[in-house]
Amino acid sequence: MEYEGKKGVRFAVWAPNAQAVAVAGDFNGWDGSKHQMKRLKDSSIWVLFIPDLAPGELYKYEITGPSSNTFFKADPYAFYSEVRPKTASVIYDPGTYQWQDRKWMSHKAKSDPYHEPMLIYEMHFGSWKKKANGDFYTYREMADELVPYIAGHGYTHIELMPMMEHPFDRSWGYQITGFYAPTSRYGKPEDFMYFIDKCHQNGLGVILDWVPVHFCKDAHGLGRFDGTPLFEPADPDMAERPIWGTYNFDFQKPEIFSFLISNAIFWIDVYHIDGFRVDAVSSLIYLNHDRGDEKKLTNQYGGDVNLEAVEFIKKLNEAVFKMFPHALMIAEEATSWPLVTAPVYAGGLGFNYKWNMGWVHDVLTYMQTPEEKRPDAHDLLTFSMYYAFSENYVLPFSHDELVYGKKSLLNKMPGDFPQKFANLRLLYAYFMTHPGKKLLFMGSEFGQFDEWKDLTQLDWMLLDFETHRTFFQFTKALNAFYQNTRSLWRLDHDPEGFEWIDPNNRRQSIIIFMRRGKRKGDYCIVLCNFSKIKYDKFRIGVPSFGKYIEIFNTDDERFGGSGLLNKEAIQVDKEPFHNQPYSMEISIPPLSALIFKKQSKKRQRGGKK
């Protein structure tokens, strides 16, 4: 900024219990006595303007605590940091980048995510792909390498595991020291802006994992910032998050509300982020969720709810949507807390999406069940429809399901090698046709066989094998089919968008349902056969008379299947079945999903498709 006719840098920091605060850096030999800050009158804020400083200078705050001990802290609001293991903050101006995403921003302002396709590619930036010597790809290199790959495979959004500055690689970014700084591991802030810009120019939205529940205890970070518990509660039991070895934020302080809500708005405003997946919401709203010890904390009424954190969540969502009505605020919330995606004024938490972790648990438990035992687990397939429209859901096959010891999606499937792939094609088709938006973790698109290993890149060599190349082409075709089939997403959050034809055929492990769009006659019929048995002349109920055509079949030879298709248009019989007025006979391959659509009258008369 410019102050009294001089250009320089203004520093400000919250340290209510400090005896003294100074700015130390390369420019003063790390001697804070040369740049002592002044405490604003009747305030907890210390400020100082230093003339002639420019971007690139290193600095920290030299703080003298209430016990007269002096220590250095990184700036909680730093825009940039040294590359780990170094810990100094770096002066940086984030407002100089020239954005080229006006078309995307204009499109987003007119978009309606609830009635549009949403297919999210979740990834860990540092382990998607690495250089031959083990180095990370930079933000700019990933913009050229990753963005065309994801856009070309049919995804609508990319979700990045936390990109804020963090000291330890293997925390995957979930234990943060620099909430306002993109990690310097992969380049400078303008390089991260370039990456986001390239995503937008290629039609990809960008979602960041965001972690307001806790922070790490590293000496240069937020912990005991002014020599006392400041960002964390004074009560050590309330401050500690034993399972992670971190500190919780103290939501009884309005300054914490300001720090975190400002942070969310900062990323959307300055970095053009399209939204957040808010991490560990259950750990925010419940005092004892994921504590990892035997202590039981209670609120002032003796309950388990963190009342102040709930109030924070509501104020966060109100503030974000007031400024950015088209933002995505996605809750990772694993309990039965009601109205997570209802507006605050209607008694909700105010998110617009929630991960459906119950569905993921049930369906993966079912899919790992050997085929001959699936009739006894049939309810795991159908139970989700009792609550599918109670929230706006995202169905997440996320990194949480694929980390060490949990196996990849492919390796969770039972059977021999061909059966594993058949089961996985079937699972993906059910995933794509079930109500809710979609999220898939990196590597799952080509059938990664091992679980995710954060120290190495994905197993790209698998694409040298025909089976994995074929599966890669299957997921690309399925993604395109999903985007082009309006009935699969137009009424994702409306009960009118789904109808069971037969949910009860546990004996044969078959379910049949309809997905409907908004327009009359816009629907498709989905049949999933979770058994290893082939069926000929299998009768299913249909809602209208005419001819139906098969528009997708996971058993297609081009996807690695046996090629048992319903190639010809199928004439409907005037025979009621499955509580439908008409029915038709089809062939069903084992371990397959089939999707049918009524043939248009023009097509039946010989017109062009």
Which residues are catalytic, by number? 279, 332
Question: What Cα–Cα distance (Å) separates residue 419 from each residue in 390, 423, 466?
Answer: 35, 6, 16
132: CB partners within 8 A, 6+ apart = none
Question: What Cα–Cα distance (Å) separates residue 32 from each residue in 48, 70, 222, 379, 541?
Answer: 12, 10, 19, 66, 79
CA neighbours within 13 Å on the CB side: how many for 47?
7
Q: Quick check: 493 and 337 in contact, CB under 8 A?
A: no
Residue 372 CB neighbours (<10 A): 11
Rounded to 5 degrees, φ, ψ at 14 are: -90, 115
Strands ordered across the beta sheet of 214-215: 214-215, 246-248, 240-241
Closest by alpha carbon to 378, among 508, 535, 532, 515?
A: 508
- The angle subtended at Cα 534 by Cα 531 and Cα 540, nearest 5°, is 85
Q: Quick check: 479 and 154 in contact, CB under 8 A?
A: yes
DSSP letters, 591-604, are SEEEEEEEPPHHHH
Beta-bridged to residue 474, according to DSSP, are none
Q: Which two tokens stand for residue 555?
A: 């058993």
Residue with tokens 């070309």: 152
Using H for helix, E for strand and C for coil, what is the string for 215-275? Answer: ECCCCCCCCCCCCCCCCCCCCHHHHEECCCCEEECCCCCHHHHHHHHHHHHHHHHHHCCCE
Question: What Cα–Cα distance (Å) separates residue 494 from each residue in 83, 208, 350, 360, 514?
Answer: 47, 27, 18, 20, 13
Q: Quick check: 498 and 388 in contact, CB under 8 A?
A: yes
SS3 168: coil
Question: What Cα–Cα distance (Å) separates residue 556 from each residue in 152, 414, 448, 471, 560?
Answer: 22, 20, 21, 11, 7
Beta strands in 291-446 (DSSP E): 328-331, 353-355, 393-397, 437-441
CA 562 to chain centre: 35
Q: Which two tokens stand for residue 311?
A: 């109030």
Residue 547 CB neighbours (<10 A): 16
Beta-bridged to residue 113, according to DSSP, are none
Q: Which two tokens stand for residue 440?
A: 């898939």
